[in-house]
Amino acid sequence: MATLRVPGTYSTISGAVAAATAGDTVLVAAGYAGNEAVNVTVENLTFSAPASVGGLQLYAAPGILKITLAGSSAIQVFGNGSDNTIIGNEGNNFIDGGTGDDTIVYAGGVDTLNGGDDDDVVHISVEGGAGSIDGGTGIDTVIGSDLGSFDFTGVEVLDAGGANGFFGSIAQFRSFGTLTASAQPSDSRRAARSFR
């Protein structure tokens, strides 16, 4: 689990990825020029960059499953045809899972999160989130109990996970076909409710 520093050790993020092994962290320092499109060819890398570094686009190469973001740079991530896991950071991310049953984790900022084709899951892991979540085609699920000010499109199921209920607006709840609480099996029958 090495940390590869850009631009300290590697002049570009692509150069760091080329030297990385699975599980490594690419740590981008403030002052880096940014504006780099990176073909991510190594599994389970973490990319950390500060908000001052903009214009970073990460493309999961064929077969790559997991990409994790850290820091607060407004990084964009594009999944591939596999079942991807893409974890956002505190910045304003754009994340597109592409085809496959993708898992996307919201971790702050004003994000645009697109599940794409097939059955995707978006986790809202922090309170008071903002942005838009579009499940695309398939049966898509949002897991979280605080809906913040998100706009939802194409999401069929809202799942409170381990929580007892939801914080959200009527308009938000109307975005979903089904409300449930999957992590509370004893309550799930009571909590599950179909709106259609």
133 lies in the binding site for Ca ion (CB under 5 A): no
Q: Kindly state the smallest distance separating residue 82's Cβ from Ca ion, in Å.
A: 6
Q: Element (H or E) spanning 56, and its range?
A: strand 56-60
Task: Kindly give the pairing relationship between strand 85-87 and strand 66-71.
Answer: parallel
- CB contact burial 75-84 (16+ within 10 A = b; e otherwise): bbbbbbebbb
| Three-state secondary structure call for residue 106 | strand
Residues 64-103, one symbol each (x = binds Ca ion by CB under 5 A, - = not), give ---------------x----x------------xx-x-x-
Q: Could you say which residues in the range 4-63 bind Ca ion, by CB under 5 A?
A: none
Amino acid at 29: A
115 lies in the binding site for Ca ion (CB under 5 A): yes
Residue with Cβ nearer Ca ion (71 or 144): 144
How many residues sit close enough to Ca ion to count as binding (CB under 5 A)? 12
Residue with Cβ nearer Ca ion (53 or 75): 75
Residue with Cβ nearer Ca ion (53 or 143): 143
Stretch that binds Ca ion, among 26-34, 127-135, 155-163, 186-194 (CB under 5 A): 127-135
Could you tell me the CA-to-CA distances from 40 to 80, 140, 163 in Å, in that order? 11, 26, 35
Stretch that binds Ca ion, among 33-41, 86-94, 107-115, 175-183 (CB under 5 A): 107-115
135 lies in the binding site for Ca ion (CB under 5 A): yes
Amino acid at 128: G
Angle at 103 between CA 47 and CA 46, to 5 degrees: 10
Q: How far apart are CA 71 and CA 34, in angstroms?
A: 14
One residue of 24, 96, 111, 120 binding Ca ion per CB under 5 A: 120
Q: How far apart are CA 59 and CA 67, in angstroms?
A: 9
**Positions in the binding site for Ca ion (CB under 5 A):** 79, 84, 97-98, 100, 102, 115, 120, 135-136, 138, 140
